[in-house]
Structures are given as structure tokens and as C-alpha cells.
Structure 1
Amino acid sequence: MSSLGQKLKELRINSGKTQEDMSKLLHLSRVSYTQYENDKRIPTLETMKRLSEIFNVSTDYLLGKSSTGSRLKALRLEKGLSQQEVADVLHINRSAYASWENDTNKPIRKLDELSDFFHVSSDYLLCLTDKPDQKRVPPEPLDLKKLLKGTEVLYDGATQPMNDVKRKMIAMIIQSELGEKTPDK
């Protein structure tokens, strides 16, 4: 199971935010936020609420209180079904389904079928939201041109200064990878 810090780092990276961005959104120092990601400090209740709003996930998800398995079991019991009955509907064996409820495996290949069967969103099954019919809003794409205009970047936990030579080099790499022509000098 992922720690709070690991979840925060993954959510931050997936949303295209830097630790500096997060510290500004939370009105904290970057060092304080970094301590959250490194599991050296625990956010206050208010900060936890704000983090769940920023990343559009539940506080239970951040705290590891709910799991895919516990949600699957609750939904199954709500319908009055056995593990075998759900497994039969999904055309899998009962032990495979049981491994999902026990959180030893994730139902990646059958996630859409499970969400249709239980009439909930896949985001709910994955504990990314507490509302069964709500899907997460995908994060805004990262504006690489805006990133290159900055005076420093955060890479692997360390702040690095940016200068014109580094900007040009990074821009060329990005453009090369995206299949675009490199800009004229």
C-alpha cells in the first residue's frame, strides 16, 4: 500500500504541478510540502481537505482508509451476491475475484465491466472519489512553454537554475520528441 507521501507525489506529478506550485496552493513553504511527500511530516486536517480538493480525490484515498477491495465487497454485499455469482457474471474464477476484494490484485482488465455491473464509476472503484457516479476531472496539460520561461525548475526534489542555454537544449529535446521542427535561432 502506498504511503501518503507516495500518493501525494504521484498525484502532483500526474497533475503537472511542481512542489513549488503545491506549496503556493497550500500557503506553505516548499520545504514543508516536500516533507509531506517524504513522509517526514503529516498535513493538518485543513491541509488534507485542501489536498483532496486540489487533486480531486477523497481524503479517505489519501489516508488509505478505503480500498478497491473494500468497495467491491460493500457493493457486492449491497446486491446480496456471493463472490462466485459476481465472478460468474465477469467470466472469471472466484479466486481471481476474491483477490480483488482482498486487495492482493487490482481488477485492471475488468474495471469497466465491474463499474457497469455495480453502476458506479471506475474512479469510485479505485477510490479516487467518494461519489459513486462521479469521475475525476483530468488535470490540465502542462504548458511546456510556460515551464521554459521560468528561472528555475524542480527536478528529482532539487531546484535547478534555468538559463538560455538550458532552455534551448530542453526545447530542442521536447520538440524532437514531439516530432516538431526545432525553432530557428
Structure 2
Amino acid sequence: MGKRKKTQGFSMGQRLKWLRTDLGMTQREVADSLNIPVTTYSNYENDNRFPNPEAMELLCEHYRCSENFLLGYEASNPGDRIRSVRMSGGLTQAQLAQRAGVSMDVVGRAEMCDERICAESIRKIAKGLGVTEDYLLCRTTSPDLVAVKVGTPVPGRGTDTNKAVISDDDIKFALFGGASVTDAEFEEVKQFARFIAQKHAATPPAGESDRKDPAGE
């Protein structure tokens, strides 16, 4: 068995809070559902306490997710991958459903790895998340397209919740697949990209330099 790879970003407590608010539940409601004290659950979300194996199993069952997802390991199934990309993009199930042109039920069943989800729905969800179908199905570790973010002001466009906004974190994820990269290293990448862009802009299209100026003939 290969070594599991940790992803960057969210702690287990943050993931639990996101899952809970995604369901519209309070901490007490979740604690009552799990039959544990609300203070215990609160400690989980605040990263002050780590659940024992029995509690971890209850949490995974309640949220219909894998232990790998809660612990922040790289997604190993399509449901966790959809959930991870959606979380990174700050999308609720309703927002993803609207963006992808599917129902919330389809998104929910996809995240639970329901085998009845058709290929067309997966394609729509992948498009809505701004990643490839192969990435969602765990056939590749590269998303190829960056994750989408909503509600971010865009110069000259205001806040648009229906169009993709690319952040530095998105670019880092697309380029490095979650691997650790320093700000200095990332700045070098951006400088190189600017150099290539400037070089491309200064280079005439193929054959353009060979054309004669009619006025000079």
C-alpha cells in the first residue's frame, strides 16, 4: 500500500465545521445525533481533541465521508474528491448544483459515491468545479483546470458568483498538485510566466516578419 499524501489547507476541525454547516446543523444537533456531549464535538471542531477510532467511525458515517477526507489526506474516491474541490472553492451543494446544471440530490449522491450517477452528471459536475472528469474519478492527480471560487470581486466586473475567479492558491494547486511551495519559489514561477508572456507579445506571428510593407515597395 502506498503512503498516504497529506493535502494542504484545512484541518480536521475545519473540515468538520464545513461539513456541519453544509448540512445546516448546529453543533448540538450533530452531538445529539452521535450521542456524545456537545463539548466533545466542539473540541473536535476547534482541533482541541482528536476523536478515538469509534468516534471517527461515527463522524464518517454521519457526514457520509471517508476517514481520509477528515484527516486531510489526498482523496482516494470520487465522492471525497468532489467534496474536497467544492470545499476549496467555497461552494455549497446548492451553488455547485446550479453551476453544474444538476439537482442538489445528484451532487449529494455523487459525493456519496452512488453508482447510479450517470457519466453525463459527472461531466457536468467536473465542469462546474473547473476540473477534469478524470481528476474527479481519481484517474489522475492533476486537476488540469483550477478550482472555482465564488463571491470574489473582479476588477471591472464586480462580484460575480457565476464565473470562475483564479487565485494564487488555485494556480499553486494546478501547478504543484498540493505540494509545499514557498512564496519565493512561487514568485519565480510568476516572473518566468510574465517573461514568456512578454516574449510572446513581442514576437510577430509566423510569417508576419517576412511580409513586405506595401508602402515600402
TM-score normalised over the length of structure 1: 0.39
Bigger relative contact order, structure 1 or 2 (CA pairs below 8 A, ≥6 apart) = 1
TM-score normalised over the length of structure 2: 0.34
Give 1 or 2 for the bigger CA radius of gyration.
2
